[in-house]
Amino acid sequence: MKILGIDSSGLTASAAILAEDSLLAEFTVNNKKTHSQTLLPMIEQVVTMSGLSLKDLDAIAVSAGPGSFTGLRIGSSTAKGMALALKIPVVSVPSLEGLAYRVAGWGGVVCPLMDARRNQVYTGIYRNNGGRPEVVEEQCAVDCSVILQKLNETGEPVIFLGDGVPVQEQAIKEQLCVPYRFAPAHLNRQSAGAVAALGGIYYKEGNMQNGRDHKPFYLRKSQAERERENRLKGMADDPGNVSR
């Protein structure tokens, strides 16, 4: 089983090759370049450095959301195109589960935080059960105080990771009542290696799809969609806007 992992759901871009239980190559950058500039060259590099060819791949695992709308579209369109060309399936890995899998050895609950802007985070609560994330609280887009209250209710130690941590660090310190820690630098961002490894588990379980059917999931509407709806609502509410 050989899997290409892709994660462009957040600020970090990452590509990796997994063969059975070995991570053969991984390329991860967090340099603020657009994923459209970095992702395909990274994939080419990890494939070359792994000693494999694209034709050796059995599946493509991609971080499918939530996350950056642009980043998700880039990752998903790349996975779709490659999967269709290679005639192999796509394994959709929820972004927050892929993040939680980074700290699979943690004994308490795991809370990934991705900055969703507008004073919100993409988040969820997970417990590692048998080396894989078990969902305690489904992924959602909420104010950070909402998830912190749910963590207080668990009464368990928690580890945080993700690009939302620096943004919400003060809120965590002020509102959290249970023991907590922040994941170290080498584990606190997205990793295509984690996506590929978790994707390998899903692949063995038959949890995959044809590239044609794959699409990212966003949890909420994009800014452009919200602005359009507000404009249309404003037009509908304007008494002077009467169709003739």
* pLDDT tens, position by position, 115-144: 998 889 999 999 987 778 999 999 999 999
pLDDT of the residue at 93 = 97
> Can you name the residues that pair with 117 across neighbouring β-strands?
120
- Answer whether the bond into residue 66 is a cis peptide, omega within 30°: yes
pLDDT of the residue at 40 = 94
pLDDT of the residue at 234 = 54
- In the block, tokens 């990793």 appear at 191
pLDDT of the residue at 242 = 46
Q: Tokens standing for 124?
A: 């969820």
Element (H, E) at 132: strand 132-142
Question: Quick one: pLDDT band at residue 5, thresholds 50, 70, 90?
Answer: very high
Q: What is the pLDDT of residues 143-190, one digit of tens each?
A: 999 999 999 999 999 999 999 999 999 999 999 999 999 999 999 999
Which residues, other chains included, contact 52 with Cβ-Cβ below 8 Å and sequence gap of 6+?
A: 2, 17, 19, 24
**Closest alpha carbon to 15 in 67, 74, 65, 55:** 74
Q: What is the pLDDT of residues 13-35, one digit of tens each?
A: 999 999 998 999 999 998 877 89
Tell me the angle at which helices 69-86 and 35-50 cross, rounded to the nearest 10 degrees. 40
| Length of the chain measured in residues | 244
pTM (2 decimals)? 0.89
Domains of the chain: 2-94+190-222 (3.30.420.40), 96-182 (3.30.420.40)
